[in-house]
Amino acid sequence: MSPRAQVYILAALLTVLGAGLTIYKHFALGFPLLPGEYRTVWTIEAKVGFDADGGPVKAALTLPRSQRNMAVLGETFSSSGYGFNIIHEDDEHRAVWSKRQASGPQSLFYQLDVHQTPGAALEQSLDLSTEVEKPLLGAREQEAVRQAIYSLVEAGRARSSDVSTFTSELLLALADTRNQDRNLIFGYYKDSNFVDVALLVLAAADIPAHRIRGLYLEDDRRRLDPEELLEIYDGERWVVFEPTSGAPGVPKNFFIWQRGGKSLLDVEGGRNSGVTFSVISNDVPARDVAMLSTSQEKEALVDFSIYSLPIEQQSIFKLILLVPVGALVVVLLRVFVGLRTSGTFMPVLLAIAFIETQLITGLSIFVLILILGLWVRFYLSRLNLLLVARIAAVVITVVILMGAISVVSFKLGIEQALTVTFFPMIILAWTIERMSILWEEDGPYEVVIQAGGSLLVAVLAWWVMTNRYVEHWTFNFPELLLVLLALVMIIGNYTGYRLGELARFRQLVR
Amino acid sequence: MQFRLPALRIPPFFRGGLVSPFRLRKLGVLGMNARNVRYIARYNDRDKYPIVDDKLNTKRAARRYRIPVPDLIAAFETQPTRKRIMQVIEPLQQFVIKPARGSGGKGILVIVGRDGEDYVKPSGSKVTALDIQRHISNIHSGLYSLGGKPDRVMIEALVDFDPVFDKYSFEGVPDIRVIVFRGFPVMAMLRCSTHDSDGKANLHQGAVGVGIDLATGKASHAVQRGLRVDIHPDTQMPFSDLEVPGWKDLVSLAASCYEMTGLGYLGCDIVLDRKRGPLLLEANARPGLAIQIANGIGLRTRLEHIESMTLEQLEKNVEERVNYSMDYFAAPTTL
């Protein structure tokens, strides 16, 4: 295979890999493609309140199971003076607060942040019991209720084709206040709520069912009681119904707290217990949401990346990851334009210094150091020093100049010039040395051309490197470096003319 | 070091605009990128670079292939003592100090005579023995070598130049560059220094590039700073009268460098000695593209012609190749 073909194949592979990883990170892990994207994060607070009797107290709150379209980003528990732990019990997670002695009103808090993601709310593989416990309505005074229930069931059955449509019909009938059977049932079960009654009727119809407790996520809601949904088993799978409307499916903004199971809250050693919820929404940068939701799943792509480094190192990498972009700018300008620079990648180092110092400050400091350095270097060249000693002397001079610039400008109140320390001084010293040789050999004109070319490339590189999109992509999608690598390899195969050559060979055309 | 204000010149880049790349392609002009990828990378093996990148190696190889070169007086492999330097240069009237791995003519110090204790440069300015010692020390430290690597110093005899070009040169000495592709000479030019170029033979510094017709050795085209000229700007001599004596010997010398270096794409710099005839000054594995401007002709058409030849046609000896090139690459004159 010819080297050229190899380059193209390798570049194609690298591009596919880099772009593929980027797309995966965007769509599967939720990393935002554009900077400045925000996601809504809901903060739900459950407040457990009860009056303690004065003796030992134990309160157990069922915690939300992980819901597929809700990513839990973080949980916090407040437990002033209480012992706290989380236990796993029959497929449920329960927070247990306990205390040897407590009296008076008690408040315990559990807070979690969730983020809504697209997808189905529930998984099917739920091994909940499908046993049905038929209501015992054998007593004489219960005869009327029993008849009403069965008449509702018969009516529903007549107007439906399967379990799902039957449930819908039944729920509609139960919500219809003109229905006499329904009124009789509700009259008998005065203490029960709608879902209790619905469960009872469904049991009478031999349909396995249970309740789902949860919350509707709406901004700035306080002191909410849990809402309930019904879930029935149609013989093959579980189907969720919104009880009052009879509509199947989990409502879009419903956050499921507890599915099936027993009570939401158990309190021992207290009275008047209850759970109230409050919900508020926050807008959080999309990347933080993606980082939080993937960190818990230990996504390998994120776990084995620079994100696993401490924050300090990450910010260093933020800068390092920009270097390839600067290198690309150099490649583009040299291959397609044909700019002459002093030292191939010296402009990239300059551009990095400019990022820290800001452009105007950086440019003035660079030009100042270059001019002063050249001046010192011309004097040094008369002293007949050995090359290495002379360059070392220039390095020391550069350091002294940097110090002097810092002190003088600080005294003058120009604090920006303090960033002078970001300049790579060895590189500066070599640049000064090369420039002075260039001056001696090719004249000052060539010095101006090369220094100007280097500065132009540095400024362009700085401009690209400080672009917020470039910054965002290099740091959040480092795999794009593979695409960059492919691009540079393809450019390395370019055999066309440079822009400068279109002027250089102008005479040949005439 | 003298401080001189740069003369105000408009960079050639901005003068007169750009031309279409398609027209350049049609004319067969070779660009830098195409030269690097299609010719240097493909025809020049990396392991053969040291033969041309180090002039001491070139000299040794040339001696083996019986290619005439300027005499080597001494070579300093390591940093010499002052005594050793003085031992070498004291008895000499004329000599040239060169870095073995210098590029673009950098670091070459030419001494044409003595004035008491001082040494005289071609421009007439004088340097002291101390200056020369410092220059040698700079070369050793790698100031002029690619990548700043430590270098070796060579002291060469000054070539006794053939006076034929005296009228076409100001201060400096013209040399002839021949591009040799797979053993076939494909293009040649003469570089004449001018007052503008400060006696240097670099075209971008203002030297005149004179395209030489491969068939005859006569000048066919001349360019200074990208513009066509008919006469030398300092001596006013018309280039139409210029003819390189012993042209075929010179072209043969260039063609035989292919066997010596093994490099497919090669530039040979040759000077004419009064008595010895053409001498190989140095060979270059990355010859520049200015030769196209000097000749007013693109290189690429000629290179592609050689590339299209069969293996049998390529396997010729030096004389056959030279004959073929002189026959095939004859150029019309514009002078």
Interface test with A, best of B5, B8, B19, B289 (most A CBs within 10 A): B19
DSSP 8-state symbol, A265: E
Query: Would the CA dihedral through A370, A373, A377, A379 be positive or negative?
Result: positive
Report pLDDT for A237.
80
Report pLDDT for A143.
79
Residues of chain A in contact with residue B14, where contact means CB-CB under 8 angstroms, are 503
Report pLDDT for B211.
93
**Nearest CA to CA, how far is A282 from chain B (Å)?**
55
For residue A50, CA distances in Å to A53, A58, A107, A266, A427 come to 9, 11, 7, 11, 71
For chain A, residues classed under CATH 2.60.40.2250 are 39-127+213-225+254-297
Residue B194 pLDDT class (50, 70, 90 cuts)? confident
What would the two tokens of residue A496 be?
């066309």
Instruction: Tell me which of A508 and A19 has the higher pLDDT.
Output: A19
Angle between helices A444-465 and A346-357 (to 10 degrees): 60
Instruction: Select the residue of A441, A495, A509 nearest B33 (Cβ to Cβ).
Output: A495
Class of the domain covering A39-127+213-225+254-297: mainly beta
Return the H-helix or E-strand segment holding B114. Answer: strand B113-115
Report pLDDT for A66.
63
Query: What's the rounded mean pLDDT across residues B116-126?
Result: 87
Those residues of chain A whose CB sits closer than 8 Å to some CB in chain B are 335, 338, 378, 381-382, 384, 386-388, 437, 439-445, 448-449, 492-509
Contact A119, A60 (CB under 8 A): no
- For A375, nearest residue in chain B (alpha carbons): B3
Query: What's the rounded mean pLDDT across residues A254-273?
Result: 83
Can you give the residue ranges of every domain in chain B? 19-53+162-328, 71-156
Residue B2 has pLDDT above 60, yes or no: no
Contact B37, A495 (CB under 8 A): yes
Residue B173 has pLDDT above 70, yes or no: yes
Considering only CA atoms, which of A496, A372, A494, A488 is closest in space to residue A431?
Answer: A372
Query: ∠ CA(A406), CA(A410), CA(A414), 5° rounding?
Result: 100
Report pLDDT for A81.
82
Does A494 contact B33 at a Cβ distance shorter than 8 Å?
yes
Task: Name residue B283's amino acid.
Answer: A
Instruction: Select the residue of B4, B31, B226 nearest A496 (Cβ to Cβ).
Output: B31
Does B34 contact A495 at a Cβ distance shorter than 8 Å?
yes
Query: Would the CA dihedral through A320, A322, A326, A327 be positive or negative?
Result: positive
Instruction: Tell me which of A327 and A260 has the higher pLDDT.
Output: A327
Does A508 contact B33 at a Cβ distance shorter than 8 Å?
no
Instruction: Select the residue of B24, B38, B144 nearest A497 (Cβ to Cβ).
Output: B24
- Euclidean distance between CA atoms B122 and B83, whole angstroms: 25
Considering only CA atoms, which of B203, B122, B175 is closest in space to residue B283?
Answer: B175
Return the H-helix or E-strand segment holding B228. Answer: strand B227-228
Residue B307 pLDDT class (50, 70, 90 cuts)? very high
Task: Name residue A468's amino acid.
Answer: R
Pick the most confident of A31-35, A97-101, A384-388, B299-303: B299-303
Query: ∠ CA(B186), CA(B216), CA(B265), 5° rounding?
Result: 15
Residue A292 has pLDDT above 90, yes or no: no
Report pLDDT for A416.
67
CATH topology for the B71-156 domain: Dna Ligase; domain 1 (3.30.1490)
Contact A57, A44 (CB under 8 A): no
DSSP string, A124-169: S--------------SGGGHHHHHHHHHHHHHHHHT-SSHHHHHHH
Residue A133 has pLDDT above 80, yes or no: no
- Euclidean distance between CA atoms B88 and B92, whole angstroms: 8
**Nearest CA to CA, how far is A303 from chain B (Å)?**
41
Report pLDDT for A301.
65
Contact A405, A368 (CB under 8 A): yes
- For A492, nearest residue in chain B (alpha carbons): B37
Report pLDDT for A238.
82
For residue A31, CA distances in Å to A22, A34, A295 come to 9, 9, 13
CATH topology for the B19-53+162-328 domain: D-amino Acid Aminotransferase; Chain A, domain 1 (3.30.470)
Q: Tokens 């001046």, residue?
A: A375
**Nearest CA to CA, how far is A420 from chain B (Å)?**
27
Residues of chain A in contact with residue B298, where contact means CB-CB under 8 angstroms, are 508
Q: How many residues appear in chain B? A: 335
Report pLDDT for A442.
72
Query: What's the rounded mean pLDDT across residues A17-26?
Result: 89
Residues of chain A in contact with residue B208, where contact means CB-CB under 8 angstroms, are none
Does B12 contact A382 at a Cβ distance shorter than 8 Å?
no
Percentage of chain B exceeding pLDDT 90: 42
Q: Mention every residue, 6+ apart, whose C-beta is less than 8 A from residue A120.
A: A68, A69
Residue B9 has pLDDT above 60, yes or no: no
What would the two tokens of residue A33 be?
């493609």
- For A505, nearest residue in chain B (alpha carbons): B293
- Euclidean distance between CA atoms B316 and B302, whole angstroms: 18
Residue B214 pLDDT class (50, 70, 90 cuts)? very high
Return the H-helix or E-strand segment holding B322. Answer: helix B318-328
Phi, psi of A88 (to 5 degrees): -110, 125
Contact B94, B159 (CB under 8 A): no
Residue A231 has pLDDT above 70, yes or no: yes
Instruction: Select the residue of B34, B142, B226 nearest A507 (Cβ to Cβ).
Output: B226
Phi, psi of B154 (to 5 degrees): -125, 145
Report pLDDT for A345.
84
Residue B6 has pLDDT above 60, yes or no: no
Residue B272 has pLDDT above 70, yes or no: yes
Query: What's the rounded mean pLDDT across residues A277-291?
Result: 80
Residue A41 pLDDT class (50, 70, 90 cuts)? confident
**Beta bridge partner(s), residue A209:** A232
**Nearest CA to CA, how far is B188 from chain A (Å)?**
16
Average pLDDT, chain A: 82
Does B106 contact A441 at a Cβ distance shorter than 8 Å?
yes
3-class DSSP state for residue B289? coil
Per-residue model confidence as pLDDT tens digits over A43-86: 888 888 888 888 888 888 888 876 667 777 788 888 778 888 88
- Euclidean distance between CA atoms B34 and B19, whole angstroms: 18
- Euclidean distance between CA atoms A164 and A443, whole angstroms: 91
Residues of chain B in contact with residue A508, where contact means CB-CB under 8 angstroms, are 24, 27, 29, 292-293, 296-298
Q: B95: buried, middle or exposed (CB in 10 Å: 19+, 13-18, 0-12)?
A: buried
Chain A with chain B: Cβ pairs closer than 8 A:
111
Residue B303 pLDDT class (50, 70, 90 cuts)? very high
Return the H-helix or E-strand segment holding B30. Answer: none
Query: Would the CA dihedral through B183, B187, B193, B198 be positive or negative?
Result: negative
- For B128, nearest residue in chain A (alpha carbons): A384
Q: Sheet containing A103-116: give its strands across.
A: A70-78, A103-116, A38-53, A270-285, A221-224
Per-residue model confidence as pLDDT tens digits over A337-366: 988 777 788 888 888 888 888 888 888 888
Does A500 contact B16 at a Cβ distance shorter than 8 Å?
no
Does B27 contact A508 at a Cβ distance shorter than 8 Å?
yes
Q: Which of A242-251, A481-490, B81-90, B321-330 has the lowest mean pLDDT?
A: A242-251
For residue A181, CA distances in Å to A157, A161, A176, A195, B290 come to 15, 22, 10, 17, 104
- Euclidean distance between CA atoms B203 and B183, whole angstroms: 25
pTM of the predicted model as reported, rounded to 2 decimal places: 0.71
Q: How many CB atoms lie within 10 A of CB B31?
A: 28
Query: Would the CA dihedral through B261, B266, B267, B273 be positive or negative?
Result: positive
Query: ∠ CA(B35), CA(B39), CA(B40), 5° rounding?
Result: 85
Phi, psi of B104 (to 5 degrees): 65, 30
Does B38 contact A495 at a Cβ distance shorter than 8 Å?
yes
Contact B135, B98 (CB under 8 A): no
Per-residue model confidence as pLDDT tens digits over A158-200: 888 888 888 888 888 888 888 888 888 888 887 778 888 888 8
**Beta bridge partner(s), residue B283:** B268
Instruction: Select the residue of B1, B142, B297 nearest A378 (Cβ to Cβ).
Output: B1
- For A448, nearest residue in chain B (alpha carbons): B6
Does A505 contact B292 at a Cβ distance shorter than 8 Å?
yes
Return the H-helix or E-strand segment holding A100. Answer: none
Query: What's the rounded mean pLDDT across residues A419-425?
Result: 72
Does A387 contact B141 at a Cβ distance shorter than 8 Å?
yes
Does B12 contact A507 at a Cβ distance shorter than 8 Å?
no
Residue B4 pLDDT class (50, 70, 90 cuts)? very low
Per-residue model confidence as pLDDT tens digits over A431-468: 888 888 788 777 788 788 888 888 999 999 999 999 98
Query: A308-327 burial string, b = 16+ CB within 10 Å, else e?
Result: eeeeeeeeebeeebbbbbbb
- For B106, nearest residue in chain A (alpha carbons): A441
Residue A400 has pLDDT above 50, yes or no: yes
User: Which own/partner pairs from B233-239 qualify as long-range (CB within 8 Å, at least 24 positions apart)?
Assistant: B233/B194, B233/B195, B233/B196, B233/B208, B234/B170, B234/B194, B234/B195, B235/B167, B235/B168, B235/B169, B235/B170, B237/B167, B237/B168, B238/B335, B239/B168, B239/B208, B239/B210, B239/B335
Counting Cα atoms < 13 Å in the Cβ hemisphere of A134 gives 9
Instruction: Tell me which of B176 and A153 has the higher pLDDT.
Output: B176
Residues of chain B in contact with residue A492, where contact means CB-CB under 8 angstroms, are 37
